[in-house]
């Protein structure tokens, strides 16, 4: 559980620090992995299969999120020719 916490905080730091969109996506992967690790640890602690099932759902969700995220990255790169998240913060609301 401590390992899951450390990985989660590392992913969060990466998410906040790096300014490259692909690094942001990779940090999201680390975050989802740490959550899945916490589920698996809990499932193996109580000898239940539920932890692995939740990990499967997290896996499916991560695959979905990464595919759409990378498609968006391609669109953004073709439009702005940059992957800096500060450069594309022109959405005013």
Partner 1 sequence: MELTFYVTGAVAIVSTILMLTRLNLVHALLYLIVTMLALAVEFLVLGAPFAAALEAIVYAGAIMVLFLFVVMMLNIGRHAADSERRWLTRGIWIGPVILAGILVIEVAYAAGVASPGLGTAATGPKEVGIALFGPYAIGVALASMLLMAGLVGAYHLGLRKSELPEKRHDTVADEGRVGPGGSLVLAGTDRSPRTT
- Asked if residue 30 lies in contact with residue 10, where contact means CB atoms within 8 angstroms, the answer is yes
DSSP string of 16-70? HH--BHHHHHHHHHHHHHHHHHHHHHHHHHTT-SHHHHHHHHHHHHHHHHHHHHH
Tell me the closest approach of the beta carbon of residue 21 to partner 1, in angstroms. Answer: 10
CA 88 to chain centre: 20
85 contributes a contact to partner 1 by CB under 8 A? no
Tell me the closest approach of the beta carbon of residue 76 to partner 1, in angstroms. Answer: 10
CB-nearer residue toward partner 1: 70 or 87? 70
Residues forming contacts to partner 1 in the complex (CB under 8 A) are 3, 6-7, 10-11, 13-14, 17-18, 20, 22-23, 25-27, 29-30, 33, 36-37, 40-41, 43-44, 47-53, 55-57, 59-75, 77-78, 83
């Amino acid at each position: 559980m401590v390992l899951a916490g450390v990985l989660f905080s590392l992913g969060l730091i990466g998410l906040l620090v790096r300014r490259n969109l692909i690094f942001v996506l990779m940090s999201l992967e680390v975050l989802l992995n740490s959550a899945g690790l916490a589920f698996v640890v809990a499932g193996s602690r109580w000898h239940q299969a539920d932890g692995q099932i939740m990990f499967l759902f997290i896996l499916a969700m991560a695959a979905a999120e990464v595919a759409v995220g990378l498609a968006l990255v391609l669109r953004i790169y073709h439009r702005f020719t940059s992957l800096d998240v500060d450069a594309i913060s022109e959405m005013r609301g």
